[in-house]
A and B are shown apart, each in its own frame.
Chain A
Amino acid sequence: MTVAIELTPFFLPGTAGRLFAVHLRPAAVPAPGEAVLLVPPLHEEMNKSRPMLAAQARRFASLGLSVLMLDPYGTGDSEGEFGEASLEQWIQDLAAGSRWLRETGAQVVHLWAARAGALLLAPLLAIETHPGAVLTLWQPVLTGKQLVTQWLRLRIASETGRERGESSESLRRQLEDEGRLEIGGYELSARLVAALEPCRLDAALAADWRGIAWFDVAASPLPASERALAPLRTRGMPLVYEALPGEPFWGTPEIARLPELLEATSRSFAQLRDGGAP
């Protein structure tokens, strides 16, 4: 069944600058009662993931939901530079997106986080609760420490990094001394690194969700994900976990698509929202 989707790009006024946003909803439903807010990946992974995120947003809309994708301050097509961005600002921006969805008719705002977006969930929930929400996770980054390691590695693995024999240690010193570091064409501020590093997904998993759907792109379930899910199983949280083999689209040289992930995400979301046994 094909549902006509209305897609509206617009700028949402943020507290630091205008935020580029795309809103999707079923054309026949002007004010859906339920919505999904995307908490996007960061850095280059945001760009690489866009086609998959856009495809999933359409699918959520065809399930009858209002869907908002926004680029937090200093990322994507929003105002500001990555080097000026702060965690607090990003959280304010996402909270503004969530409030916008409520103001336009949603009683429930579900959350959907991809990759490093998962680390922003706990600070977001601290300022804006999301009662009755289903949480959808796409290969979440589990800890801020992992994210920072990954960013530093981007530099270490680059030609410059290899020529200079850089290490996490030398880069951290540089970050401390100069307050910033260039990584893959982005300026990274010491302040952002310090704020992101202590963030953890498990702090958000401990919240009260209607259900959690978690997908990894891997040939078999990842042990680290299973460990993070164990306390949720004990709590009896409605849960879907699936490892799907395929190309890790957030980091591949060419844009990749994984239709199986879209199928599984929509199916699991509908099950968890409607309270059926997954």
Chain B
Amino acid sequence: MSEKRFPLVPVIYTALLMLPVYWLVTMAFKTNGEIAGRLTLFPEAPTLRHLKLIFTEKAWWMGYVHALIYVCMNVVISVGVALPAAYAFSRYAFPGKRPLFFGFLVFRMMAPVILLVPFVQIFSDLDLYDTHIAVALAHCFFNVPIAVWILEGFISSVPREIDESARIDGHSLWSFFRRILIPQIGPGIAVTAFFCFMFSWVEFLLANALTAVAAKPISGIMTRAGGVLAGDFGLLAAASVVGFIPGVICIVLVRKHLVRGFSMGRVA
């Protein structure tokens, strides 16, 4: 049917999405005078000043490092604790199963702003304010549920007979996980890690509020040093462009399983 036709609508849609991105990339190479002056589609006098500053000033490039550290910590914690839980939700009957699953989901739906004040309070009291682990733990409240949700979908699509035969072969639960289940749902784990990465990477409010200097992510540095609200346009554009890179790398890495991942592993 429609499959032979050229997909005009998706192509136009994607082009419109890419247009602002393209424009941002050109801005990173423009001088501030050109940016504020008039609209140009190519940099008239291309400059590497902004990008050079970001990669040479420690305050700037460390912002990306800090963000990557807490994001990776969060991915490890979220996927690590979610995997056994997702298996339990998929394979076991236990009292309070549905309310518990629902409870997890509610936290995914919750705005970070609701927990802002207690998080600042708790992490300050624990002397964890301005550390990477504080942000990584704070991001768990929305990432653990999403990880459980996606992994449960992927595990449920693995036939139960595999569990049974592993049991008969004498695998312990641990060895079953390591030798059989994890290789089976490898794409599911990659996609889950991708989602946790994504939600932690884009979050700003908590990451900024829980850090001061030692763990300040790039977004926090952008608001402070450059001043997003009025400031050095070219520098901020360059910082934004570099901020795209980890996301693009992740998308390319999981591209084959992206679509299934977006349906929370539920459409097999």
A and B bind: no
